[in-house]
């Protein structure tokens, strides 16, 4: 009878999927209005879109999970719209030239924003190999060099000591991984700012600067801005 239960859930799921598509279209229109006046960013985004074609990053991430490359709580994919990144950057008083690190950067679209819109050197870490290889090809097309890097690496084991501003979208992290994240972030130098989404960092090493709600690809979530003491 499990199949009957699943069948009953199907219309609700289809509706939810449609609503989510409209939500993401709405977010994308807002991004275009706000940022497509920047020709370098616009070109980078068009090339980024072409590099995925009709293949959704959500699908690629799910396939990596099914292939056993990832643990389930780390691999649930979602995106931060540029309008939300901009709001976070303003709240964090991010300055051009600051070293930005995206802790789990997905396809690397956030990296394009930090570099082209905000003038920050940026690097990301990512566990899905397909995202990394596509970004490498995109980098060649865009002629990007050392200022924008994407590493196929678990960020828990990365050297983050040069980071001025870090983004952590760990909405689906298990408690164990959240604790691991806090331990790894303990290496940051005093004054570095971390924006963590959905959860505050539970560590005496950080002080909370601000919290606010903002839109993400899956709906609204809380942004916690914290400074390394």
Ligand X SMILES: C[S@@+](CC[C@H](N)C(=O)[O-])C[C@H]1O[C@@H](n2cnc3c(N)ncnc32)[C@H](O)[C@@H]1O
By CB under 6 A, name the binding residues for ligand X: 61, 74-75, 77-80, 102, 104-106, 110, 125-128, 154-156, 167, 169
Residue 16: CB minimum distance to ligand X, A: 18
What does the block give as tokens for 83? 């309008």
Residue 110: CB minimum distance to ligand X, A: 5
Which one, 192 or 221, has the nearer CB to ligand X? 221
Angle, alpha carbons 47-154-98 (nearest 5°): 60
Q: Which residue has the tokens 């990296």?
A: 111
Which one, 6 or 55, has the nearer CB to ligand X? 55
SS3 content of the chain, % helix, strand, coil (to 5): 45, 20, 35
Residue 53: CB minimum distance to ligand X, A: 19
Element housing 91 (H / E): helix 82-91
Which one, 125 or 206, has the nearer CB to ligand X? 125
Residue 218: strand, helix, or coil = coil
Which one, 31 or 79, has the nearer CB to ligand X? 79
Residue 45: CB minimum distance to ligand X, A: 13
Which one, 27 or 127, has the nearer CB to ligand X? 127
d(CA 40, CA 53): 20
d(CA 116, CA 172): 29
Residue 5: CB minimum distance to ligand X, A: 29
């Amino acid at each position: 009878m499990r199949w009957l239960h699943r069948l009953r859930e199907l219309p609700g799921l289809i509706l939810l999927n449609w609503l989510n598509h409209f939500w993401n279209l709405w977010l994308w229109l807002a991004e275009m209005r706000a940022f497509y006046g920047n020709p370098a960013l616009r070109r980078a985004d068009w090339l980024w879109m072409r590099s995925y074609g009709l293949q959704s990053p959500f699908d690629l991430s799910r396939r990596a999970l099914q292939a056993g490359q990832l643990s389930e709580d780390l691999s649930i994919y979602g995106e931060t719209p540029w309008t939300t990144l901009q709001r976070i950057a303003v709240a964090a008083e991010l300055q051009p030239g600051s070293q930005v690190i995206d802790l789990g950067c997905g396809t690397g679209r956030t990296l394009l924003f930090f570099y082209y819109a905000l003038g920050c050197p940026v690097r990301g870490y990512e566990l899905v190999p397909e995202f990394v290889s596509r970004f490498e090809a995109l980098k060649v097309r865009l002629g990007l060099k050392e200022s924008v890097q994407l590493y196929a690496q678990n960020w828990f084991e990365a050297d983050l000591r040069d980071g001025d501003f870090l983004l952590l979208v760990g909405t689906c992290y298990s408690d164990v991984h959240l604790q691991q994240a806090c331990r790894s972030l303990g290496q940051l130098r005093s004054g570095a700012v971390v924006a963590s989404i959905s959860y505050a960092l539970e560590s005496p090493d950080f002080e909370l600067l601000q919290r606010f709600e903002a839109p993400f690809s899956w709906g609204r979530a809380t942004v916690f801005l914290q400074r390394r003491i």
